[in-house]
Amino acid sequence: MITIANEWLRAEISPAGAELKSLKRLEGQHEYLWSADPQYWAKTSPVLFPIVGALKDDTYHYEGRSYRLPRHGFARDKPFDGKLVSPTEAAFTLTDSEETRAVYPFAFQLTLRYRLEGHSITCTYEVRNPSDSQPLLFSIGAHPAFAAPAREGGPAYSDYFLEFPGDEALVCHKLEGNLVSAHTETIALDEHRRLPLRHDLFYADALVLKTLRSKTIILGNTINDRGITFHHEGFSYFGIWAAKDADFVCLEPWCGIADHVGHRQQLEEKEGIQRLEAGDSWTRSWSVNCF
């Protein structure tokens, strides 16, 4: 585990999947991330690469060949090369290998950088195409799980809310067998543009959003003043999810999305696919301000 810290926050990141495992406020030792209780969901913040969501039949076609990838790809289960850049910044890098090329025939370098500044942590995804001739086709997404703990004398899960300053309602695309369908559901927000959390919101899987306007989302509760402000820029899609009856919520900005139920499985036609030309680089970031 690699630890970065400043006078307000401490973060722990595992080289296994470059996964943020803990984000703690030093004053009072308040933990903002989910505990990874395996009874519900044993992860905390996996990176989704080189696909987001599921492929139709777990299969895609590229240049006349067929390949198989599991939901959300393979990066979350790979060992990254991690290093401490400074006391407040760490970087983790994964490059292609014979093993990855068997299921994903592209050269790539994926780096995740975590940096603390004040009461915030920023996670930056850097994708580089080291090829001198072949384009790199990929999707990438975040999946951080934030604790919404129910405690005796404290808030219940239903006391937590997500606030969307730029939206009056959420238009959710329903999933069918892990694939995006043409059916949508509109979830109204209250007069404060808030969505109160309920466990049954996620019984049918994630809320998949293609038209979210809010670039800042607040997770708070009506009992105390603890929470986060989540900021994301440059991501075309957004997911909100929790495991069944678990006391957390995932806020997931995505550059990419699961296959549509009618997709032809051609990688170049995949909705949200990113194309990076030979020698080029690509970056996106999300951040969390803790209060």
pLDDT in tens, 139-175: 999 999 999 998 777 799 999 999 999 999 999 999 9
User: Closest Cα to residue 271, out of 143, 179, 205, 186?
Assistant: 179
User: 7-25: per-residue pLDDT in tens?
Assistant: 999 999 999 999 999 999 9
What domains, with CATH codes, occur in the chain?
2-290 (2.70.98.10)
pLDDT of residue 190: 97
What mean pLDDT do residues 271-289 have? Answer: 98
Strands (E), 130-192: 136-138, 140-141, 145-147, 160-163, 169-176, 179-188
DSSP state of 100: H
pLDDT of residue 140: 98
User: 226-268: per-residue pLDDT in tens?
Assistant: 999 999 999 999 999 999 999 999 999 999 999 999 999 999 9
pLDDT of residue 41: 98
pTM of the model: 0.97
How far apart CA 142 and CA 208 sit, in angstroms, is 13
How far apart CA 178 and CA 58 sit, in angstroms, is 10
Distance of CA 48 to CAs 28, 61, 64, Å?
Answer: 32, 19, 25
pLDDT of residue 279: 98
What mean pLDDT do residues 90-114 have? Answer: 98
How far apart CA 222 and CA 205 sit, in angstroms, is 26
User: 32-82: per-residue pLDDT in tens?
Assistant: 999 999 999 999 999 999 999 999 999 999 999 999 999 999 999 999 999
What mean pLDDT do residues 93-120 have? Answer: 98
